[in-house]
Amino acid sequence: MKTNSCLMIVFCAFFFIISISAQTGAANNPIIFADVPDMSIIRVGNVYYMSSTTMHFSPGVPIMKSEDLVNWKIVNYAYDVLDNVDEMDLNNGKFTYGRGSWASCLRYHNGIFYLSTFAQTTGKTYIYQTNDIEKGAWKKISFKPSYHDHTIFFDDDGKIYMIWGAGKLMITELKDDLSGIKEGTEKVLIENATAPSGSNIMLPAEGSQLFKIKGKYYLFNISWPRGGMRTVIIHRADKINGPYEGIVGLQDQGIAQGGLIDTPEGNWFAYLFQDHGSVGRIPYLVPVKWENEWPVIGIDGKAPVQLNLPKNKSLIPGIVASDSFERKPGEPALPLVWQWNHNPDNKYWSISQRKGYLRLTTGRVDTLFLTAKNTLTQRTIGPECSGATSIDVSNMKEGDFAGLCLLQKKYGIIGIKFENGSKSLVMINAESDKPKIIESFPILQNNMYLKAECDFKERVDLAKFYFSYDGKIWKQIGNELHMQYTLPHFVGYRFGLFNYATKTPGGYADFDFFDVTDSIKEK
């Protein structure tokens, strides 16, 4: 009996330890296995907020929230529409893939949240401000020119600064109302900020983010030595105008570009990201310790796989989410996980015209998928994921094409085409830059189930497309799409729901649901 009691005590103790371990666990890098580049993170009390680049998508510049630095959810956007110009509106054959708004800077000062970004598309710099970052509307200020990869900084003396540039970094003071720069204050801050990483450079120092810690100024940048990898550069100064001394902060797996964040407990991390193939640019957290008033990034110069932070939860539903298109009174028409490819035309989409469905109506004639309006998108996520939908094509018109896509320059599509009075299920592969119909066959029913599966494990970057007549038995169609991250689009692959006309506008397709999973199921 005594032996059994001892064994029981040991077993209970073991079970308790396992349970506590399972509850506390450890976070794994990457923190977010999805396209969330150019992060800017702040902490307000015990809560963290992050902004990121979204290029040509609308609404733009997502605001994400976390209480542990690991698990994030989208809570707002800085804008619904950046600007109404032909490039953003996909009008007159123009587009702004890979441009739109780039690296943002998120700051909190005297009870106000500030977010700044810039756009090559419009040649402007934008500054947004709100006192309610999660639910509030943003006041917008814009001015020319477009200050590349800038950081704004509110100093203790009340002055507001902006630092920007590539290689040669510039600094200026902003007007008190943020409506532009103070004339006569613009000057060179660092003549050659790339120097710490060498002279044979493919990408000069850019992506500026400035921090003031214990009276010293720390400027973070990224460079890319030719034949090397993306590199963190840190400059330090006692005064904001310098002089600055610089060092290489991290060279590991190409993890770079970002800045510093601390926890309420006083632990420090660098938030950075890594180019990770077709899924996009994915965030990492790297521990920081302080030595001789320098932030030392990593453990023995490496970004660890595990971190002493809470465990990662699924990116569903915080970053991506399924949608039944059912809406309760007062709910927004579209959850925040959705973004349109370029600016939408709101007259031609609805979730109320048919209850429980997303209706995409064609409003004009288009000849190319990539210039068609109102493609509704969500990120893909790694290491693998699946996106599925059901579509009713009863009300398509001759020449219409509707379905599910994986959106990038080298896109893949499964959809229904209405041609010559009949409908066909089609798989298109554009990995060769010239879209090819890989497989097509007639269908007799108006309700079809479509699915795309993505495998990003070890950067294999393969996608497959499937269809079903009943939503239960799935069959593959076409061939594998070899997904490729291309600079002309500059974003990771996205799931997309689309419908466009090639002959006569006015037809519509109804999408019953969109289901996203973080796994690929065996057939």
In a domain, 2, yes or no: no
d(C-alpha 115, C-alpha 326), whole Å: 33
Handedness of CA 479, 485, 488, 494 (dihedral sign): positive
| Domain-ending residue, one of 266, 287, 307 | 307
Contacts of 158 (CB under 8 A, 6+ apart): none
404 and 513 both lie in a single domain: yes
The CATH number of residue 406's host domain is 2.60.120.200
In a domain, 22, yes or no: no
In a domain, 20, yes or no: no
196 and 295 both lie in a single domain: yes
C-beta of residue 81 within 8 angstroms of C-beta of residue 96 = no
d(C-alpha 437, C-alpha 454), whole Å: 20
Query: 40-43, long-range: CB within 8 Å, 24+ apart, which pairs?
Result: 40/103, 40/104, 40/105, 40/106, 40/209, 40/259, 41/106, 41/258, 41/259, 41/261, 41/271, 42/106, 42/107, 42/108, 42/261, 43/261, 43/262, 43/263, 43/264
d(C-alpha 509, C-alpha 392), whole Å: 6
Give the per-residue pLDDT at 433: 81
The CATH number of residue 203's host domain is 2.115.10.20
Q: What's the structural domain count of the chain?
A: 2
355 and 480 both lie in a single domain: yes
Supply the range of the domain harboring residue 232.
28-307
In a domain, 449, yes or no: yes
295 and 356 both lie in a single domain: no
| Burial track 35-65 (b if 16+ CB lie within 10 A, e otherwise) | bbbbbbbbeeeeebbbbbbbbbbbbbbbbbb
Helix (H, G, I), strand (E, B) or coil at 164: strand
Tokens (6 digits) for 17: 């330890």
| Domain-ending residue, one of 251, 286, 307 | 307
d(C-alpha 343, C-alpha 403), whole Å: 19
284 and 381 both lie in a single domain: no
Helix (H, G, I), strand (E, B) or coil at 153: strand
Give the per-residue pLDDT at 14: 34
Number of C-alpha atoms within 13 angstroms, CB side, residue 287? 16
368 and 295 both lie in a single domain: no
In a domain, 8, yes or no: no
102 and 44 both lie in a single domain: yes
| Domain-ending residue, one of 266, 286, 307 | 307
pLDDT per residue, tens digit, the chain (523 aa), is 333 443 333 333 333 333 333 344 699 999 999 999 999 999 999 999 999 998 999 999 999 999 999 999 999 999 999 999 999 999 999 999 999 999 999 999 999 999 999 999 999 999 999 999 999 999 999 999 999 999 999 999 999 999 999 999 999 999 999 999 999 999 999 999 999 999 999 999 999 999 999 999 999 999 999 999 999 999 999 999 999 999 999 999 999 999 999 999 999 999 999 999 999 999 999 999 999 999 999 999 999 999 999 999 999 999 999 999 999 999 999 999 999 999 999 999 999 999 999 999 999 999 999 999 999 999 999 999 999 999 999 999 999 999 999 999 999 999 999 999 999 999 999 999 899 999 999 999 999 999 999 999 999 999 999 999 999 999 999 999 999 999 999 999 999 999 999 999 999 999 999 999 999 975 4
pTM of the predicted model as reported, rounded to 2 decimal places: 0.93
Amino acid 224 reads W
Torsion angle defined by CA atoms of residues 239, 244, 246 and 249, in that order, rounded to the nearest 10 degrees: 20
Name the residue among 485, 382, 404, 395 with its Cα closest to residue 450: 404
Whether cis (ω within 30° of 0) applies to the bond prior to 59 is yes
Tokens (6 digits) for 88: 């953003």
In a domain, 188, yes or no: yes
298 and 373 both lie in a single domain: no
Give the per-residue pLDDT at 17: 32
361 and 465 both lie in a single domain: yes
Torsion angle defined by CA atoms of residues 147, 148, 149 and 152, in that order, rounded to the nearest 10 degrees: -10
295 and 368 both lie in a single domain: no
303 and 344 both lie in a single domain: no
102 and 195 both lie in a single domain: yes
In a domain, 318, yes or no: no
Q: Which helix (H) or strand (E) holds 129?
A: strand 124-130
Q: Which residues pair with 206 in a beta bridge?
A: 222
In a domain, 276, yes or no: yes
